[in-house]
Chain A
Amino acid sequence: MPEWNKPLPTIVGETKPYWDACRQGRLLIQKCDKCSEFQFYPRGICSNCWSNDIQWVQASGKGTVWTFTVTYQNRTQGFNEGPYVLALVELEEGVKMFTNIVECEPGAVEIGMPVEVTFARANDRVSIPYFKPAS
């Protein structure tokens, strides 16, 4: 396997369950036990009611493209060769997350397109969630 040349996440206590699940091929989001709100990205406090009664729940992994851009110029290593699709995907649970749309021609991506999660193994510790057209 070639060495992963893109940025890697920094994993700390409040985000470790998310990255542990990614490694197992599961996408987790958070739900507050007090106010029942979902949130993304993961954090140690409910951003809505500020309680710390946060539960990890498995997302369905399905969503739609909320918006996207085909990026042709980025000087960051790993993103400086050829166009890629940066997107905001709205999950079925109602939260949006940044991702790349993969396994798809950039020109075929459109807003509202159904997508599903897929994981790429970066190294022994980290797998990164991406989205591909829904099967």
Chain B
Amino acid sequence: MADVNRGAAIVGIHEHITRYAPDKSELQLQGESIIKALDDAGLTKKDVDGLLTASMSIRNSGLALADYLDMSPKMVDNTTVGGGSFEFHLSHALNAIASGRINCAVITYSTLAKSGGVSVGTGGVSRFGHPQLDPSPDSFEELYGLTTVGLYAMIAQRHMHLYGTTSEQLAEVAVTMRKHAGMNPEALFRNPITVEDVVRSRVISSPLHLMDCCVITDGGGAVVVASPELAKNCRHKPVWVLGAGEAVAHQGAGKRDLMYIAAKQSHEPAFAMAGVTHKDIDMAMIYDSFTITVIETLEDLGFCEKGEGGQFVSNGRIQLGGELPINTDGGGLSSNHPGMRGLFLLLEATRQLRHQFEGTPRQVPDCKIALCHGTGGALGSRHSGGTVILGVD
């Protein structure tokens, strides 16, 4: 296989700061984000020849977006594997650019989950608006009242049973995200919370409390990915894609141990391609749909042993100033979770690698290498895992 390490770089980013946008369309949010991300890069519409997007609501969203913005890309990728789709998109953009098929790709996403009143985590079967269950697997699952929260809660329950993980350890994740959100003026919730606040919030699906669950917001954003040659002339120094790995995990005909998540498979190729080890990672963006997601992901990415995630996230280790700062924007638990959050992992990692917050507590000092791991779908049934490792010279 050709070595695609540093075969492409993130050169432009934009996060639509809105958390509530009832007066806009999803395509408008995407269009506005793309325009600003290209401006951030110092590139224009004519430079873009690859378009990657996923949507919870727009049918054939890549096609719809190309139409809306009158674009004729040479490559369109509509990979939709849940919230972590955008780590897959970056992996695909890297391949397309490194192979010479395209020079510049835009990855974008937006949603109106909040203003549309979508019950992302607790809608059950109605969250997808299906008039009728699919013959399988829905007809063997949705009969029993599955929710997204419930599927993660079942993994949390077994994690506690097997490893002695506590509600207080889960709460540490939420408390840390809130602390980070306090440094992010755009975050939805910024007031500090305590472990006690989390474990005293109402139970949504045991053992997960309200504050173990991510927020629901509107939002959008875009990432511009360019070839090394194009990146040379961009405004910011390139944030190189050093490595990428993709995986799925599912029930395996009822026989798979779902305590091991897709991150276990996706991280190895990403680290191998990047040629780095866990000790080299200065900060990580870990998809935090729920507090348990972070604990399980850190274990299966190999930052700690299986079952030790609860201890790992305690004692300030994942805070800014700690050994491995995680989700320095406040994460899905406090900053934003517009239905799918994978794109926002790439945005904050890029900001950290650009040292955009230099001189403030939000900046990870000497940040040179960052890891992003997106999870999509649900840990308790079937899900995707996309790991990307980014770095600067």
Contact = CB atoms under 8 A, between A and B. Distances in A.
Interface of A: 6-12, 14-15, 37-43, 47-48, 66-79, 84, 86-88, 94-100, 111, 128
B205 A71 contact: yes
21 contacts: A7-B142, A9-B143, A10-B135, A11-B139, A38-B253, A40-B253, A41-B139, A41-B140, A42-B136, A66-B158, A67-B155, A67-B158, A69-B150, A69-B207, A71-B205, A73-B205, A74-B150, A76-B124, A95-B255, A98-B381, A100-B144
B139 A10 contact: yes
B157 A111 contact: yes
Interface of B: 119, 122-127, 132-147, 149-150, 153-155, 157-158, 161, 202-208, 251-255, 380-381
B157 A43 contact: no
A47 B157 CA distance: 28
A88 B138 CA distance: 15
B122 A73 contact: yes
A65 to B, nearest CB: 10
A78 B124 CA distance: 10
A69 B126 contact: no
Closest 9 CB pairs of A and B: A76-B124, A95-B254, A9-B139, A40-B254, A39-B253, A69-B153, A79-B145, A41-B140, A67-B158
Given A71-B145, A76-B125, A94 B206 contact: no
Contact of A7 (B127, B133, B150, B252): B133
Nearest to A70: B206
B137 A41 contact: yes
B137 to A, nearest CB: 5
A68 B153 CA distance: 8
Contacts of B140: 9, 40-42, 97-98
B158 A7 contact: no
A47 B160 CA distance: 31
A76 B136 contact: no
A86 B133 contact: no
B205 A70 contact: yes
A59 B142 CA distance: 22
A27 to B, nearest CB: 12
